[in-house]
């Protein structure tokens, strides 16, 4: 059994631990933000960590009604002085699997030196990032041993979402996150067969479509296909795929689409047009939305918060990419040319 399979299918066990841990630390989290009263949240990360930052940026703006930004940690590190005005009265939130990725650690150290409050989220205990940050949340049960992140990403996505729910005192969002986690094992069991079937279909490139809070997790889904199954993959906003990218969509394209519960007709028209171009389409939508005309349909439960759909959503591309790697004879745990984290001192 590959580590990647184990980590994908153990992600909800880890999420149960993460949910309890973040709630247990809710007082520390509230005190951290209330004491500093930031006007802006800035999320920084590298690779998969940066992708979840893009989702967190949208969720923070919508849940808290404050400005939020996502900046690649390397960008902030190189251009720290250029971002000085943006950093004023801000707080930095930095997720990192290893807690040792050079750009993230160095950027947080620079921020501390400039008196910018910093909060770290890592999947290792006692990491350099934890030592550099003012407040550290550590999720060792979410650590991925395989090179490509799967379980860690889902746990960081939930952690970031819980931060905005706790600071915004949004009990309903916390409850929906808990419900999505509780349904997770049944959800994966119900759709593992679909993931295997999609993986064995004829396609050689992937387009992932999603909006709002799911934009960043769609970026991650495209990266998962690229890293694990070595298939060229891109992400776009749902309707934005009509503005140029549509010309490259054809019979060898797999489209994975997160469907918003709003404006269903606009989205079903797009699905129809994608299929007319002979693309193969997988949709992930709320349970009550019914048949959307795609080749494969995935229906988690209904949630009031669209952001919660991101929790079950990411499992589908992770599982398809894993089974596709097996179809192609690729080792999903150790794809060539990748390292689990980057140390600039050794690059």
Q: What number is the average pLDDT over the span 151-159? A: 98
Ordered DSSP codes for 80-93: TGGGHHHHTTEEEE
pLDDT range class, residue 346, cuts 50, 70, 90 = very low
Q: Three-state DSSP class for 346?
A: helix
Q: What number is the average pLDDT over the span 273-302? A: 94
d(CA 149, CA 8) in angstroms, rounded, equals 9
pLDDT at position 57? 98
Predicted structure pTM score: 0.95
Residues 206-248 pLDDT 10s? 999 999 999 999 999 999 999 999 999 999 999 999 999 999 9
Residues 306-318 pLDDT 10s? 999 999 999 999 9
CB-CB contact of 292 with 108 (8 Å): no
pLDDT range class, residue 289, cuts 50, 70, 90 = confident
Q: Three-state DSSP class for 225?
A: helix
CATH architecture of the domain formed by 3-179: 3-Layer(aba) Sandwich (3.40)
d(CA 176, CA 270) in angstroms, rounded, equals 29
Residue with the bigger pLDDT between 1 and 164: it is 164
The conformation of residue 172, written as its DSSP 8-state character, comes to H
| CATH 3.40.50.10490 domain locations along the chain | 3-179, 183-327
Query: Could you tell me how many helices (H) and strands (E) the chain has, helices first?
Result: 14, 10
Residues 64-85 pLDDT 10s? 999 999 999 999 999 999 999 9
- What is 183-327's CATH number, 3.90.1170.50, 3.30.930.10, 3.40.50.10490, 2.20.28.120? 3.40.50.10490
Rg, C-alpha atoms of the chain: 19
pLDDT surpasses 90 at 331: yes
Q: What is the dihedral of CA 322, 326, 331, 333, to 10 degrees?
A: 30
Q: What number is the average pLDDT over the span 23-32? A: 98
Angle between helix 48-64 and helix 215-228 axes, rounded to 10 deg: 170
The conformation of residue 253, written as its DSSP 8-state character, comes to E
């Amino acid at each position: 059994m590959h580590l990647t399979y184990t980590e994908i299918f153990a992600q909800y066990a880890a999420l149960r631990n993460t949910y309890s841990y973040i709630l247990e630390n809710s007082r520390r989290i509230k005190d951290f933000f209330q004491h500093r009263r930031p006007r802006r949240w800035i999320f920084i990360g590298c690779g998969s960590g940066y992708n979840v930052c893009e989702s967190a940026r949208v969720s923070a703006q919508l849940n808290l009604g404050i400005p939020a930004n996502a900046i690649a940690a390397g960008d902030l590190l190189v251009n720290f002085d250029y971002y000085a005005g943006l950093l004023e009265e801000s707080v930095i939130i930095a997720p990192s699997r290893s807690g040792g990725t050079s750009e993230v650690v160095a950027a947080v150290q620079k921020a501390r030196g400039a008196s910018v409050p910093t909060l770290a989220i890592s999947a290792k205990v006692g990491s350099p990032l934890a030592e550099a940050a003012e407040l550290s949340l550590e999720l060792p049960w979410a650590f991925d041993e395989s090179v490509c992140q799967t379980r860690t990403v889902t746990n960081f996505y939930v952690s970031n979402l819980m931060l905005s729910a706790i600071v915004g005192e949004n009990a309903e969002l916390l409850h929906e996150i808990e419900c999505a986690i509780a349904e997770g094992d049944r959800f994966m069991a119900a759709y593992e067969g679909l993931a295997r079937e999609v993986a064995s279909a004829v396609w050689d490139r992937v387009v992932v479509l999603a909006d709002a809070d799911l934009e960043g997790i769609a970026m991650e889904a495209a990266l998962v296909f690229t890293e694990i199954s070595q298939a060229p993959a891109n992400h776009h906003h749902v309707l934005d795929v009509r503005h140029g990218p549509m010309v490259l969509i054809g019979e060898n394209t797999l489209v994975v689409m997160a469907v918003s519960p709003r404006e269903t007709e606009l989205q079903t028209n797009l699905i129809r047009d994608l299929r007319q171009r002979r693309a193969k389409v997988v949709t992930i939508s709320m349970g009550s939305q019914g048949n959307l005309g795609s080749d494969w349909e995935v229906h988690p439960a209904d949630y009031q918060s669209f952001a919660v759909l991101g929790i079950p959503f990411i499992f589908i591309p992770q599982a398809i990419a894993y089974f596709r790697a097996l179809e192609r004879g690729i080792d999903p745990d150790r794809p060539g040319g990748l390292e689990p984290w980057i140390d600039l001192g050794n690059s």
